[in-house]
Each structure stands twice: as structure tokens, then as C-alpha cells.
């Protein structure tokens, strides 16, 4: 018999949808800052100057810094509230992988998603690949805040900068994490499109239409 099942709690939905534009603005303003000294590359791949110009991102270092140090507060507050909420509510149990078996299961999920493997491994609310992704993105977020603080105040927080190999090291990690979010975003959106309307709708209304024979 079909029924509506609450999949995503109201608070989690708000945290997610508030985080999305905030992270987008942090990345945007971050690239305005990066424009002033865009040196990182992976082999020949470098953030192209043409893209900076096309998106009118050139000559806006001061704007980028003002925006970055404005929205950082909202980004951090939302992130901290999310972590506190998942802990207090017990939701973390569903989100955090609890054994190394998750790695094997996550691989099976990837194979399944790529249509290489027919069956999905058994799962709770989130499959092992989701658990690993959603936990990793949180660890990345914490990493961005810490490396960000290290670049922001390398004298006042010199001990923190030292964790990341000093000021240049912290800057590199901070940048790499940002690229990580961009990759996460692409994969995430593809997965959401593949999963379909019922799944996407549940991230807005909370409920998912299920027709299971239990």
C-alpha cells in the first residue's frame, strides 16, 4: 500500500537549503580573492583567466574579501547548528558510517550506480556511499573553516597555520577543498537528477511516496 514517509527532517532541510547559497557565495567570493594570485594547477589545468573575465571576476579582490568575511559568519553558524542538531537529535547515527564495511558497501553502490552491478547492498536511510560523502563533506567544511582561519590570521593563530604546513600550505588546502565542493556539487546534482522527482521533492516537503511491501 502506498504511503508518505518522512525522509528528511524539517531542520535538516533548512540547514541544507540555507547552506547551499551560503557555500555558493563563499566559493564565489573565494574566487574573487583567488583571482589576485591564481597560481595553482594540476598538470596543465589552471583556472583560466578567460573565465575570470567572462564572469566579471577580475579586479574585485576587495569586494571578494568583504563578502567572504561577511558571509563566513552565516556559513559557520549554519554549519555549527547543523552539527549540533545531528548530534542532539541522534540523526548522526544514520549519517556517519559506523564500520569499515561502509567502504566496501560504498564501492558496491558506485558499481550499482554505474550499472555494473545489479543489486544494491542493504542500507538504512542513507547508503554507504552517501554516508561517506555526507560525512566527508562535513569534515571538508570543518577543514575549510580551520584552513580559512589559518590564512585569515596566520600571526594570531600561528599554531593553527602550523598544523597545515604554515601559511602557504593552509592556502593550498583551502583552495583544494573548494575544488572538492565543486566536484561534490556536480556529482550530487547528477545523483539527484538520476534519483528522480520523488526523491528531490522529499528534500523540499520532507515526505517521500513509498510503495513497499513489508
What minimum distance in Å lies between the beta carbon of 43 and another protein?
A: 21
What minimum distance in Å lies between the beta carbon of 9 and another protein?
A: 6
User: Grid coordinates standing for 75?
Assistant: 556559513
What minimum distance in Å lies between the beta carbon of 180 and another protein?
A: 19
What minimum distance in Å lies between the beta carbon of 212 and another protein?
A: 10
Q: Which is nearer to another protein, 186 or 204 (CB)?
A: 204
Q: Which is nearer to another protein, 25 or 140 (CB)?
A: 25
Asked whether 145 and 171 are in contact (CB, 8 A), the reply is: no
Helix (H) or strand (E) holding 157: none
Classified as helix, coil or strand, 172 is helix
Q: Which is nearer to another protein, 7 or 133 (CB)?
A: 7
Asked whether 97 and 131 are in contact (CB, 8 A), the reply is: yes
Calculate the dihedral angle through the C-alpha atoms of 147, 29, 11, 83, rounding to the nearest 10 degrees.
Answer: 0
Binding site for another protein (CB under 8 A): 1-7, 9, 17, 21, 25, 33-34, 36-37, 39, 61-63, 65-67, 69-70, 73, 89-91, 94, 124-125, 152-158, 161-162, 166-168, 171, 201, 204-207, 209
Q: Which is nearer to another protein, 9 or 110 (CB)?
A: 9
Report how far apart the first and last C-alpha atoms of the chain are (Å, whole number).
9
Using CA atoms, how far apart are residues 111 and 182, in angstroms rounded to an integer?
Answer: 22
Amino acid at each position: 500500500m502506498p504511503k508518505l514517509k518522512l525522509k528528511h527532517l524539517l531542520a535538516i532541510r533548512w540547514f541544507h537549503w540555507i547552506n547551499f547559497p551560503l557555500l555558493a557565495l563563499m566559493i564565489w567570493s573565494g574566487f574573487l580573492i583567488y583571482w589576485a594570485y591564481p597560481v595553482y594547477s594540476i598538470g596543465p589545468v589552471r583556472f583560466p583567466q578567460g573565465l575570470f573575465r567572462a564572469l566579471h571576476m577580475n579586479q574585485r579582490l576587495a569586494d571578494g574579501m568583504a563578502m567572504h568575511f561577511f558571509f563566513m559568519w552565516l556559513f559557520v553558524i549554519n554549519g555549527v547548528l547543523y552539527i549540533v542538531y545531528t548530534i542532539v537529535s541522534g540523526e548522526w547515527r544514520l549519517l556517519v558510517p559506523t564500520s569499515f564495511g561502509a567502504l566496501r558497501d560504498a564501492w558496491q553502490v558506485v558499481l550499482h550506480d554505474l550499472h555494473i552491478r545489479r543489486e544494491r547492498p542493504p542500507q538504512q536511510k542513507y547508503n554507504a556511499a552517501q554516508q561517506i560523502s555526507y560525512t566527508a563533506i562535513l569534515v571538508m567544511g570543518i577543514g575549510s573553516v580551520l584552513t580559512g582561519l589559518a590564512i585569515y590570521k596566520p600571526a594570531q593563530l600561528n599554531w593553527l597555520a602550523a598544523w597545515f604546513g604554515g601559511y602557504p600550505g593552509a592556502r593550498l588546502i583551502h583552495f583544494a577543498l573548494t575544488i572538492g565542493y565543486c566536484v561534490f556539487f556536480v556529482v550530487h546534482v547528477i545523483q539527484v537528477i538520476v534519483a528522480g522527482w520523488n526523491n528531490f521533492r522529499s528534500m523540499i516537503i520532507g515526505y517521500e511516496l513509498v510503495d513497499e511491501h513489508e
